[in-house]
Amino acid sequence: MDAQVVLKNVTKRFTTKTLGDIVAVDNFNLEVYEGECFSFLGPSGCGKSTTLRMIAGFEDLTEGEIHLCGNPVSVKNKNLYVPPEERGLGMVFQAFAVWPHMTVFENVAFPLRIQKLNRADVEKRVKEALRHTSLQGLEDVYPSDLSGGQQQRIALARAIVTNPKVMLLDEPLSNLDPKLRESMRFELKELQRKFNFTIIFVTHDQSEAMALSDRMMVCDMGRIMQIDTPENLYNKPINRFVHSFLGESTFLNVVIKDGKVYAKGDMENPLDLDIPANAEEEMILATRPNAIELTGNKGYKTFIKKRIFLTDRTEYLVQIGDQTMKVQTPHRVTFAQGESCCVNFIDPMWYPVEDKAAEEERRRRQLV
Amino acid sequence: MIASLKRKKRDLAAIDGRHFSLDGAMTVLSFILLLVIVVVPIFMIVYNAFFDQGKFSLDLICEQLSKKDNLISMWNTIKIAVLVTILGTIMGVFYAWLLGRSDIPCKGLMRALFNIPYMFPPFLGAMAWDLLLNGRSGYLNKWFVDVFNLSSAPFNINSIGGIVFVELSYYFPFVFMQVVSAFERMDPKLEECARIAGARQGTVIRKITLPLVTPAISAGALLILISSLAHFGVPSILGFSQGIYTLPTKIYAVISRSGGSFEGIRQGAALSIMLVVVVAAALIIQKKVLSSGSYDIIKGKSMRPTLIKLRGARIPLFVLAVLTLVLIVIVPLAMIFLVGLVKAYGLPLIPENFTLANYTKVFASSGTFNSISNSLFVSIAAGIICMFLGTLIAYVVQKIKPRGKGVLEVLSVLPYSIPGTVLAIGVILAWSGKLGVNLYNTIWIILIAYLARYLSFSMKTSSAALLQVHPSLEEAARTCGASHTESLKDVTLPLIRPAMVSGFFLIFLPAMREVTTSVLLYGPYTRTLGVQIYSLRDAGMMPQAAALGSVAIVMIIVCNTIVTAITKDRKGV
Amino acid sequence: MASVKFDNISFRYGDNYILKNFSLTVEESQILCLVGPSGCGKTTLVRCLLGLSKPETGSIYVGETCVFSAEKHINIPAERRKIGIVFQDYAVWPHMTVKENVCYPMKKRHMAKADIEKRAMHALAQVNMTEYANHLPSQLSGGQQQRVAIARALVSSDGLIVMDEPITNLDAKLREQMLLEIREIQRNIGTTILYITHDQQSALQLCDKMAIMEQNGSLCQLGNDEDIILRPANRFTFEFIGVSNFIPMLFENGQCYLDFEGKKQIWTDTLPDMDKTKKMEVGVRPNDIVFDDDSPIRGKVHRSVFLGSEYDYFIDINGKELRVQQNTLDAVCLGVAKEGSEVGIKFLNPHYYEAKEA
């Protein structure tokens, strides 16, 4: 597989009035391969959108270089910069950004007209793009007469009509309602399969990223945290941030003593767990609410503190030591509030106790 | 017992949304007032133009249409308006782009300055330019003749070109303001998408940016067209001496020549019909254009657009913008002040010739005080009455929504589209005794004309504010124990009060400088400020007219400052 | 504290009945969540209760007081019903300070000045807004404005507060928190709350009792969270409350089959009592369908999507598409079903309902 988008030591610094220097993107190194769907995921202000805009050519780099399809497009120390219109990308924005003064046909034909293609070719390729985005028959309609989903399809058609190698998507589904969002995901995948372009995709919605991507990058505060497949990111997050950012998490402060694991606040009944390889005296046990087994007799004995019915599962709060943990089960597993029960952890993750400095930095940045 | 039963009955009605006692009365009142203020004058013009002694006849219209000078003035009207519109649009768009999308320095300040012409009455500007570039005795012309040894004056402001130039400097802000705000609210992603699609910066401006602001441009341009068609001040000041007439000034001339006789007014009414036809044509175009090009590009919130670097052209363009400002704002204002200080018109503008005598003379004459107090009275009265009346109608239209609310809406906005001159004639025909009420030569007839003319201003601001007041705010008050009347008083009215106040000032300010209608309606003791300046100048007393003009300018500046101060700290709805 | 009784309420626009003979009782000191899809008439019902709309028939009692009765021609106007209301868009008066907002209802009821002050501050304390008493609403966030609205509702009612989608305009985190606060306030003062929402989740979290309304304005099920979740009374409730699969049933020769687009599968589960002459369906939740290679019911994995906590599958059985969710943990242990592969599936915890009329 060829690396189609390459970022080498890409750094972007801003100066703000309130906070002084902010490193929006800190030394990103990254390769996106041909035909891959790669997503940038992170909370707002993590640098994902800035990175995308640097790839598109709307933002300058402070340091580093970017290569597209083997050609350098931004190299800071050689002062090389290719303007966005010459990078040959496709791009779709969150706010649709379809031109309201043009009909659907004209919108999609615009990139081809810029390339000075002849009439018949334009017609043919637009027709094809519209067919792939199920917009046939709407050629002469103005975008303002269409729904959000249809407008986003125009934006998609406009992006694929030039047959770009790389497609940049900036939260393309966030403005749509949940049902539409789900079906558009499948449509996007279908399109990718047909046209075989590389997708770089920015989102803060983790389930969307997981459903769509082959690999993803989780970043926080301008730094790359982890790059991997969705399954690996979810099942083996490298730190507490990634764990809590992807999917629901539930944490337990534990004390490890004499080869046994105790929940803080209960040094009498050990948990039925092997100690981790890098055991420290105090650690954080991290797991998912639906990866905790709730049974009548096997495991750590406790009781149900609270039961909340969710629409698709039941959520229990159980007391473990002096802490409360969240457990989720299908509706068919029923315990009553106050009933005693046993919990069992299956393959939990272990992290060192909280990193205060990182928390502080996050709070500082949120003030921006 | 009976009282309580009665109360119960009324409450039942209240629940159905038929608050007969209050809402019904408000609806009926709105209809009656609009009938008196708007419908009667309009009807009278049409009646008098088409009916002679109770019989339908087209003679009058045909007679007026057959006069060559009437047709010439109609042609002048159209020619001037079209020229002003085209040039004003180009100028407005150019400066809007320069100040909205380029990196020219001092943007904020320049934007504020470009809006200034909007504040001042164009006829003062016309006076100033007349003093400077009058063909025979303009100061600048004389200077040119002296310095370059010319045999005749190089410029003549008393020409179609001169009229177009002065109107242009007052009307281009219409386009400028619309387009600047459109530029500001345009989503920059629309342009970025075009870059990604492969278009260069220049192509993006041509294919995306300009087409996107086209609705704003055409809205502003049509506003210029309609205002210029109906405009009286500038052509009357610059055109009369050379016999250049437009329809509004022709109407004035016909009436004043006939000394206010009924025959003259009837001729005026017939000419009015011609003017209305021209304006109506423009209005129809406006409606067509505006409805065809309404994109929802323009998002409500302000975006931060990418600015285009002017590079080498930055300083020259900045100088150009500053020069334009000097020419259209500073020069005329300074001229009015300077001539107001000079001993006699025509003397060089040097300190030895300066005196305060004009000001003392102006203030010593009872006419000045009369005119100022008249203007204050009618402006404040019109402002207050319209504020309440407009709010009443807005409430009926927005909240009560009776049958025929469309009619109410149209009637209250209609007079604004009717040229002031035409409206004045309608008011004269209606209220000078023919219908049993004679208000001619009194201040009341001016007030009635102002009410009709400015009602739409307050109606529009109050409507917008009422739309913001969500019904749940009133309903919350109802469930908290307030009756319908109380919830109006405690919740709705306080919430739209800021809008009502700004509606008042929107009327008060232009009314203070109004000249078009009052020049046809004033009597010996009911001159307004505008009319007083106008007639001082007419009588050849240039320095005194300029002195009074500078007083007017100061008043306008003071009022505007107060308004900005008041509207700044109002509570958000 | 007051109960509420709607009896036989009908309301219509022209020939279009929004509510038809609707009856519902809200018991004293309870939170009753009225849940239904948008347009089902729940807001109309509330407007009738508040006195902002007038029903055609029926009667409404608040406690012992009849506030509306069509037969007896009673219709107490809105301002004298003493019901607190919290609207979706807060409806906090922007020109009054927080305290003025809260004092207004008491002023309108001519209470003594000292009392007003005391009760207003008490109500503000209940919603943790004491320190904002002199702020204008424009200086507050959405959540804070909604708290002011709740305080205002507290002082203007005699123990009955109606909340119409009060948290819909807030962001997700704040919604959760507001629900807890509403619950807390209710526990402290024991007021009756009629809570209107289209969001099943918030209703489940908040309610003592839940009333589910169908699109046509009729009451579909009334019960506590456990009843609704574990024993949905009919197909509508089952479908409304979560993602669901329905498979038609066939009864032939005393034998029961599941009908997958014409392909019959024998169904041996013990059936509850049901009218076998009617068209019946099996309803199953996506996470109650599990993979079982020995099962005779077999289908093809049409689509497999990783969603983090679970895998979301579309299983195609002879053209009938079923939605299946598998816990990620199970997927890791048992293996992920690949797109295109054949799997056997088993239904746990099936529900049986009468089919929807076409």
Say which of C50, C53, C75 has its CB closest to residue B12: C75
Q: Please give the Cα distance from C287 to C296 (Å, whole number).
A: 19
Indicate the SS3 state at residue B166: helix
Is the pLDDT reported for residue B40 higher than 70?
yes
- What mean pLDDT do residues A94-121 have? 89
Q: What ipTM did this prediction achieve?
A: 0.81
pLDDT of residue B14: 42
Please give the residue of chain A at the shortest CA–CA distance from B299.
A95
Residue B571, chain C, CB below 8 Å: the answer is: yes
Is residue C40 within 8 Å of residue C214, measured between CB atoms?
yes
- What mean pLDDT do residues A102-119 have? 91
pLDDT digits (tens, 9 = 90+) for B406-436: 888 888 888 878 888 899 989 988 888 777 7
pLDDT of residue B7: 42
Contact call for B490 and C84, based on CB within 8 A: no
Q: Please give the Cα distance from B209 to B201 (Å, whole number).
A: 10
Least Cα separation, residue B309 to chain A (angstroms): 15
Is the pLDDT reported for residue B235 higher than 70?
yes
Is the pLDDT reported for residue B15 higher than 80?
no
Say which of C241, C242, C329 has its CB closest to residue A290: C329
Q: Which domains are delineated in chain B?
A: 75-245+303-355 (1.10.3720.10), 356-573 (1.10.3720.10)
pLDDT category at B201 given cuts 50, 70, 90 is confident
Contact call for A290 and C310, based on CB within 8 A: yes
Closest CA to A183 of C303, C6, C176: C303
Residue B477, phi then psi, degrees to nearest 5: -65, -40
- What mean pLDDT do residues B140-153 have? 82
User: SS3 for B379-420, per residue?
Assistant: HHHHHHHHHHHHHHHHHHHHHHCCCCHHHHHHHHHHHHHCCH
Contact call for A158 and B193, based on CB within 8 A: yes
More confident residue, A109 or B202: A109
DSSP A1: -
Please give the residue of chain A at the shortest CA–CA distance from C331.
A231
Least Cα separation, residue C337 to chain A (angstroms): 14
- What mean pLDDT do residues B187-208 have? 86
Q: In which element (H, E) is residue C290 found?
A: strand C289-291
Q: What is the mean pLDDT of chain A?
A: 88
Q: Please give the Cα distance from C180 to C201 (Å, whole number).
A: 13
Is the pLDDT reported for residue B385 higher than 90?
yes
Indicate the SS3 state at residue C147: helix
Q: Do residues A232 and A289 share a domain?
A: no
Q: Please give the Cα distance from A81 to A76 (Å, whole number).
A: 8
Q: How many helices (H) and strands (E) does chain A have?
A: 9, 20
- For an interface test with B, which of C52, C95, C109 has the most B Cβ atoms less than 10 Å from its Cβ? C95
Q: Please give the Cα distance from A273 to A259 (Å, whole number).
A: 10
Is the pLDDT reported for residue B6 higher than 50?
no
- What mean pLDDT do residues C107-125 have? 91
Is the pLDDT reported for residue A364 higher than 50?
yes
pLDDT digits (tens, 9 = 90+) for A340-354: 999 999 889 999 887
Q: Please give the Cα distance from B496 to A94 (Å, whole number).
A: 36
Residue C141, chain A, CB below 8 Å: the answer is: no
Say which of B8, B15, B572 has its CB closest to residue C94: B572
Q: What is the mean pLDDT of chain B?
A: 84
pLDDT of residue B568: 66
Q: Do residues A51 and A128 share a domain?
A: yes
How many residues in total does chain A contain?
Answer: 368
CB pairs below 8 Å between A and C: how many?
77
Specify if A277 maps to a domain: yes
Specify if A367 maps to a domain: no
pLDDT digits (tens, 9 = 90+) for B124-142: 889 889 888 887 778 888 8
Specify if A297 maps to a domain: yes
- For an interface test with C, which of B6, B22, B479 has the most C Cβ atoms less than 10 Å from its Cβ? B479
Q: Do residues A220 and A81 share a domain?
A: yes
* B147, burial (CB in 10 Å: exposed 0-12, middle 13-18, buried 19+): exposed
pLDDT of residue C323: 93
pLDDT of residue B569: 56
Work out the number of other CB atoms within 10 angstroms of the CB of residue B167.
28
Residue A93, chain C, CB below 8 Å: the answer is: no
Domain boundary among A176, A210, A240: A240
Domain boundary among A217, A240, A263: A240
pLDDT of residue B293: 56
Residue A285, phi then psi, degrees to nearest 5: -95, 125
Specify if A160 maps to a domain: yes
Q: Do residues A164 and A263 share a domain?
A: no
Contact call for B11 and C77, based on CB within 8 A: yes
Q: Do residues A37 and A144 share a domain?
A: yes
DSSP string, B299-335: -SS---PPPBP-GGGHHHHHHHHHHHHIIIIIHHHHH
pLDDT digits (tens, 9 = 90+) for B497-514: 888 988 898 899 889 888
Residue with tokens 């996470």: C287
Q: Do residues A332 and A184 share a domain?
A: no
Q: Please, which residues 235-254 of chain C have a Cβ atom closer than 8 Å to chain A? A: 241-243
Q: Please give the Cα distance from B543 to B559 (Å, whole number).
A: 24
Q: Do residues A65 and A28 share a domain?
A: yes
Structure tokens belonging to residue C209: 């009792």
Q: Do residues A44 and A154 share a domain?
A: yes
- What mean pLDDT do residues B174-201 have? 86
Is the pLDDT reported for residue C347 higher than 90?
yes
Specify if A111 maps to a domain: yes
Residue B63, phi then psi, degrees to nearest 5: -60, -45
The CATH number that applies at residue A158 is 3.40.50.300
pLDDT digits (tens, 9 = 90+) for C248-295: 999 888 889 999 998 999 888 888 888 888 899 999 999 999 999 888
Q: Which domains are delineated in chain C?
A: 4-239 (3.40.50.300), 245-354 (2.40.50.140)
pLDDT of residue A366: 60
- What mean pLDDT do residues A204-218 have? 90
Say which of C81, C93, C156 has its CB closest to residue B473: C93
Work out the number of other CB atoms within 10 angstroms of the CB of residue C155.
23
pLDDT of residue C152: 93
Please give the residue of chain A at the shortest CA–CA distance from B195.
A85
Please name the amino acid found at residue B546. A
pLDDT of residue B13: 38
Q: Please give the Cα distance from A128 to C349 (Å, whole number).
A: 47
Chains that touch C (3 or more CB pairs under 8 A): A, B
Contact call for C156 and B490, based on CB within 8 A: no
**A243-257, B340-354, C94-108: which range is least confident on average?**
B340-354
Specify if A365 maps to a domain: no
What ranges make up the beta strands (E) of chain A? 3-16, 20-33, 37-41, 63-68, 71-75, 80-81, 89-92, 166-170, 198-203, 215-220, 223-228, 250-257, 260-263, 282-287, 292-295, 300-309, 314-320, 323-329, 340-345, 349-352
Distance of CA B87 to the CA centre of its chain: 19
The CATH number that applies at residue A346 is 2.40.50.140
pLDDT digits (tens, 9 = 90+) for B56-104: 888 888 888 888 888 899 999 999 999 999 999 999 999 998 888 888 8
Is residue A93 within 8 Å of residue B183, measured between CB atoms?
no
pLDDT category at B3 given cuts 50, 70, 90 is very low
Least Cα separation, residue C115 to chain B (angstroms): 17
pLDDT of residue A19: 67
Q: Do residues A85 and A217 share a domain?
A: yes
Please give the residue of chain B at the shortest CA–CA distance from C162.
B479
Residue A204: which domain range?
3-240
- B491 contact residues in C (CB cutoff 8 A): 93
pLDDT digits (tens, 9 = 90+) for C198-245: 999 999 999 999 999 998 889 999 999 999 999 999 999 999 998 999
What total number of domains does chain A contain? 2
pLDDT of residue A305: 93
Contact call for A114 and B203, based on CB within 8 A: yes
- What mean pLDDT do residues C310-320 have? 92
pLDDT of residue B5: 40
Least Cα separation, residue B26 to chain C (angstroms): 21
* pTM higher than the cut 0.90: no
**B3-7, B305-309, C118-122 — most confident range:** C118-122
Residue C306, chain A, CB below 8 Å: the answer is: yes
Specify if A69 maps to a domain: yes
Specify if A368 maps to a domain: no
Q: Do residues A141 and A278 share a domain?
A: no
Q: Do residues A254 and A151 share a domain?
A: no
Q: Do residues A115 and A204 share a domain?
A: yes
Q: Please give the Cα distance from B399 to B467 (Å, whole number).
A: 9
Please give the residue of chain A at the shortest CA–CA distance from B203.
A114
Say which of A230, A311, A330 has its CB closest to residue C306: A230
Please give the residue of chain C at the shortest CA–CA distance from A293.
C329
- What mean pLDDT do residues B48-53 have? 82
